[in-house]
């Protein structure tokens, strides 16, 4: 039986600028692919599971056009990958580099199982612009602060990507090594605000790119919808962060490029500080009533509640509001960040363990030497949603209120009908 190269697609569900796929083609052996299937009903984050399933289904169809099968496996991941690799007579198993402690632990187990069978297990960076140890201090240590990391990142980017662009889609020769290509499993229907897949990712970028010039002016006004909404595609790997970085730099979009730099920073932070990720599982006491009202959008602070209802209903929230609601939870309510981070991880369409952890530890003041400045929720509402458009969109019970009342309806007391909207849960 002929040897093959097995590509395990995880968070790199694309063909363009896919380092794993490029190295697989270079091996010169027939290709096959695998995807670990997690159905929405089996996931703590059904939206994201459905989104990734859509992306994998599109990828399966694109590979099938080249005669490359994509096998959907289930059950114990390590045992399933070992079984597939041995059954297909794989010489190599190639996969995108992992960053979370749980993934790294699992990868090490898989490496041992495959190595015992004489199968090579190789990993390549496909999730970030720079890999986890590419950007280090002059002492060879990971940066602890974002500002110096950003400067080092920009310097490395200028050296590496000024003349060298990320590769386009590799030329995959049509193969006939597999007589039958397995159909990709269908998924139970679930409503999503975005369509998964590489084609949809590029459509989203092309739609957003013309707005890069006004992004610095409008990014903190959620009612304007001026952010890229590419997070879900980056998290699933439907679009290459390297290609986006080159595109953004070429357009002079330095403010938006900082999002990709911060994403790299959080990924390398998680790798070098696995204990931070393990803190996510700490069982710390929480005020149950606070948690219920915060997650249900019933705190009595309109911008906070509008943001939380938006996230709960759609799975997405503008970055500025993620920061506002996280700081409200961690700093204003003095509640443990772990509970907020876990709830976000269960609801975000674009959930990424490293980015979620980094954002929450930043909100809690753990990733900075400086105490975060947290504005009063009413001040934040007036700053980020001055005319109340975003609030009205998600709090219909307050939609009739004018802009000089909607941010703090409790001050009007009996003069307005709040249609059951609660008073503030705490005095600030």
Tell me if 233 is assigned to a ligand binding site.
Answer: no
Tell me if 256 is assigned to a ligand binding site.
Answer: yes
99-108 — which CB contacts under 8 Å span 24+ positions? 99/127, 99/132, 99/267, 99/268, 99/270, 99/271, 99/353, 99/354, 100/270, 100/277, 100/353, 100/354, 101/270, 101/274, 101/277, 101/278, 102/277, 104/271, 104/274, 106/77, 106/78
Closest CA to 297 of 286, 289, 306: 306
Please report the beta strands in 25-83, taking only residues with DSSP state E, as ranges in sequence order: 31-36, 70-73
Q: Which residues contact 39 (CB under 8 A, 6 or more apart)?
A: 49, 53, 187, 188
DSSP string, 216-232: HHHTT-GGG--S---HH
> Residue 141 corresponds to which tokens in the numbers above?
């240590």
The answer to whether residues 361 and 378 touch, using CB atoms and an 8 Å cutoff, is no
Closest CA to 323 of 275, 281, 265, 367: 367
The DSSP symbol for 165 reads P
State the chain's maximal CA–CA distance in angstroms: 81
Tell me if 350 is assigned to a ligand binding site.
Answer: yes
User: What does the alpha-carbon distance between residue 311 and residue 349 come to, in Å, rounded to a whole number?
Assistant: 9
Tally Cβ neighbours within 10 Å of residue 100: 18
Q: Which residues contact 401 (CB under 8 A, 6 or more apart)?
A: 388, 409, 416
Tell me if 415 is assigned to a ligand binding site.
Answer: no
Tell me if 220 is assigned to a ligand binding site.
Answer: no
Q: What is the helix (H) or strand (E) element at residue 91, kind and residue range?
A: strand 90-96
Check residue 361 and give left, alpha or beta (phi > 0: left; psi -120 to 50: alpha): alpha
- The residues facing 124 across adjacent strands are 96
Distance of CA 97 to the CA centre of its chain: 15
The helix/strand/coil state of 90 is strand
Query: Burial letters for 20-38: b for 16+ Cβ neighbours within 10 Å, e otherwise?
Result: bbbbbbebebbbbbbbbbb
Binding residues for FAD: 215, 256, 350-352
Binding residues: 215, 256, 350-352
């Amino acid at each position: 039986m002929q040897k093959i190269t097995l590509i395990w697609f995880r968070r790199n569900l694309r063909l363009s600028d896919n380092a794993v796929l490029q190295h697989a083609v270079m091996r010169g052996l027939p290709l096959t692919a695998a995807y670990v299937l997690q159905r929405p009903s089996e996931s703590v984050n059904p939206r994201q599971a459905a989104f990734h399933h859509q992306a994998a289904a599109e990828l399966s169809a694109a590979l099938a056009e080249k005669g490359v099968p994509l096998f959907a496996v289930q059950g114990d991941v390590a045992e399933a990958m070992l079984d597939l690799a041995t059954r297909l007579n794989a010489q190599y198993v190639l996969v995108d580099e992992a960053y979370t402690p749980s993934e790294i632990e699992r990868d090490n187990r898989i490496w041992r199982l495959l190595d015992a069978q004489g199968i090579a297990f190789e990993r390549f960076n496909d999730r970030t612009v720079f890999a986890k140890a590419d950007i280090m201090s002059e002492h060879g240590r990971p940066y602890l602060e974002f500002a110096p990391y950003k400067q080092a990142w920009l310097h490395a980017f200028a050296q590496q990507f000024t003349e060298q662009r990320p590769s386009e889609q590799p030329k995959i020769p049509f193969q006939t090594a597999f007589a039958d290509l397995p159909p990709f499993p269908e998924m139970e229907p679930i409503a999503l605000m975005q369509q998964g897949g590489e084609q949809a990712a590029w459509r989203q970028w092309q739609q957003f790119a013309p707005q890069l010039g006004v992004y610095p002016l409008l990014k903190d006004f959620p009612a304007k919808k001026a952010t890229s909404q590419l997070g879900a595609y980056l998290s699933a790997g439907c679009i290459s962060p390297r290609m986006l970085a080159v595109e953004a730099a070429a357009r002079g979009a330095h403010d938006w490029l900082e999002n990709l730099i911060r994403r790299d920073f959080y990924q390398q932070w998680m790798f070098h500080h696995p204990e931070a990720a393990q803190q996510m599982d700490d069982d710390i006491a929480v005020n149950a009533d606070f948690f219920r009202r915060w997650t249900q959008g019933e705190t009595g602070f309109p911008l906070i509640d509008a943001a939380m209802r938006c996230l709960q209903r759609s799975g997405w929230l503008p970055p500025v509001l993620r920061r506002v609601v996280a700081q409200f939870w961690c700093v204003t309510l003095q509640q443990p960040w772990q509970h907020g981070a876990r709830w976000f991880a269960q609801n975000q369409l674009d959930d990424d363990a490293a980015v979620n952890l980094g954002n929450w530890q930043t909100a809690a003041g753990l990733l900075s030497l400086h105490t975060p400045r947290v504005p009063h929720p009413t001040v934040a509402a007036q700053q980020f949603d001055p005319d109340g458009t975003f609030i009205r969109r998600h709090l219909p019970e307050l939609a009739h209120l004018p802009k000089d009342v909607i941010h703090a309806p409790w001050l009007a007391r009996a003069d307005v009908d709040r249609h059951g909207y609660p008073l503030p849960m705490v005095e600030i």
